[in-house]
Amino acid sequence: MSIKTYQLPKLRECFKLVDKNALHWFPGHMGKGMKQMQQQLKSVDLVIEVHDARIPISGRNPNFKHTVLGVRPHIVVLNKKDLIHEDAVSQVEQKLAKDGFSNLIFTNCKSHTCNGVRKVIPLATKLINSSPRFNRSEQKDFCMMVIGVPNVGKSSLINALRNRHLHKSNAAHVGAVAGVTRSVQNRIKVVHDPPVYLLDTPGVLTPSVSNIESGLRLALCSCLQDHLVGEEVIADYLLYMLNKEGNFAYVEYLGLEQPTESISLALLSHARKLGKTQKVRSVEGGYNIRFDLRSAAQSFVHAFRAGKFGPVLLDRDKLTC
Ligand SMILES: Nc1nc2c(ncn2[C@@H]2O[C@H](COP(=O)(O)OP(=O)(O)OP(=O)(O)O)[C@@H](O)[C@H]2O)c(=O)[nH]1
C-alpha cells in the first residue's frame, strides 16, 4: 500500500464564526421533557446518562447535575465508542474520573457483541442494591431512567439492552437526526428476572450554549439540527478540526490533490466529484448552473458522522484541563 505524503497548508487558527443564537436550540419539548424527568425521579432507582464518546466534555449538559442527578445512583455511558481511537478511552476515563464520574462504561450500540453493553445492567443492579431505595424499597422490579443530550444513542442503548437480555426487537424509536424522542416514554422492559425497566427520555440541551466551539462540536455530532447552524458552517469546522488533528483522509474523499484550509475549495472539489449542481436564476432572466456547495457540505459532514475519516476525539484539547 502506498502512503501519500502531502505538502501541508499553513494551519489556520480559527473556524467560521457562527452567531451564538444559531447554536441556541431549546424547543418547548426540551423544557417540558426536563420537568417530566424530574417528576419521574421518584419512580426510578438509577439514572443512566448517555454521552457521545467523541465529545465527552462538550457534550455534557451541566443542568442535569442540578435537576436529575444526585438523588439516585448514576452511571455514565460513553456511547459511539467505535468512532473514537481505542487509545483515547483511558484518557477520557482519567479525565472524567478526575471530574468525579466513577461509574463509566464505553459502548457501541451498533455492535451485537459490545462488551460495554453487557456491563450496564450488572453494574446498575449492583449500585441499586448498595444504595438506599427510599420510597422504592418494597419494589421487586428495577426502574432506570436514560438521559442525555439529543442523538447520543439513548434509544439505541435501550434497544441494545433489550436485544441482549430478552432477545427482543427494538422498542424505542431510533433516528439519525436530533430530537426523535420528544417526551418521557413508557417503561420498556429489558430484563425478565429480576424485572428491569428503562425509561427513554427526550434529548435535552442547555438553554444557552456558552462556548461557540462546544456548540459547533455538538452540531458536528448531530446533537443540534443541521439547518439551524448551517451545513457549510459545520463543514468548515469539520475541515478545521481534521487539519488540526493531522487527519487528511478527507483529501481523497473530497477529490482534492492536497490538504486545504479553504472550505470553498474543498466543497467545490467535492461537489464536482459528486456531480452535484443546482440551477440559479441569473440577473438576465435565464438560469445558470452552479456547483451545489450545500449538498457537498452535507455529504462531507455525513461522511464524518459515518466514521469515513476514521476515529476522531473532538474534545482532545479538553482532556488536560
Ligand atoms: N456509530 C454509532 N452510531 C450509533 C451508536 N448508537 C447509536 N448510533 C446512531 O446514533 C443516532 C441516534 O441514535 P438514537 O438512539 O436515536 O439517539 P437518541 O439519543 O435516542 O436521540 P434523540 O431521541 O434525538 O434524543 C442513530 O443514527 C443511531 O443509529 C453507536 O454506538 N455507534
206 touches ligand 1 (CB under 6 Å)? no
Residue minimizing CA distance to atom 1 of ligand 1: 80
List the chain pLDDT tens, one digit each, 321 residues: 556 777 766 777 778 878 878 788 888 899 899 999 999 999 999 999 999 999 999 999 988 988 888 889 999 999 999 999 999 999 999 999 999 898 999 999 999 999 999 999 999 999 999 999 888 988 999 999 999 999 999 999 999 999 999 999 998 888 888 778 877 888 999 999 999 999 999 998 887 777 899 999 999 999 999 999 999 999 999 999 999 999 999 999 999 999 999 999 999 999 999 999 998 888 888 899 999 999 999 999 999 999 999 999 999 999 986
In angstroms, the CA 52 to CA 234 distance is 17
DSSP state string for 219-283: HHTTSS-HHHH-HHHHHHHHHHHHHHHT--THHHHTT-SS--S-HHHHHHHHHHHHT-EEEEE-T
Phi-psi region of 315 (alpha: psi -120 to 50; beta: other; left: phi over 0): alpha
Residue minimizing CA distance to atom 27 of ligand 1: 176
47 phi, psi to nearest 5 deg = -115, 130
Q: Work out which ligand 1 atom sits closest to the CA atom of 148.
A: 19
CATH architecture assignment, domain 24-200: 3-Layer(aba) Sandwich (3.40)
Residue 12 Cα to ligand 1 middle (Å): 32
222 touches ligand 1 (CB under 6 Å)? no
The count of residues in the chain is: 321
The full set of domain ranges for the chain reads 24-200, 230-318
- pTM here? 0.93
Residue 175 Cα to ligand 1 middle (Å): 7
Residue minimizing CA distance to atom 11 of ligand 1: 176
In angstroms, the CA 154 to CA 79 distance is 9
Pure H helices in 83-211: 88-98, 115-129, 154-166
Q: Work out which ligand 1 atom sits closest to the CA atom of 182.
A: 23
Q: What's the half-sphere exposure (Cβ side, CA atoms, 13 Å) at 154? A: 31
Angle (deg, nearest 10), helices 154-166 and 115-129: 90
For this complex, say whether ipTM is above 0.85.
Answer: yes
51 touches ligand 1 (CB under 6 Å)? no
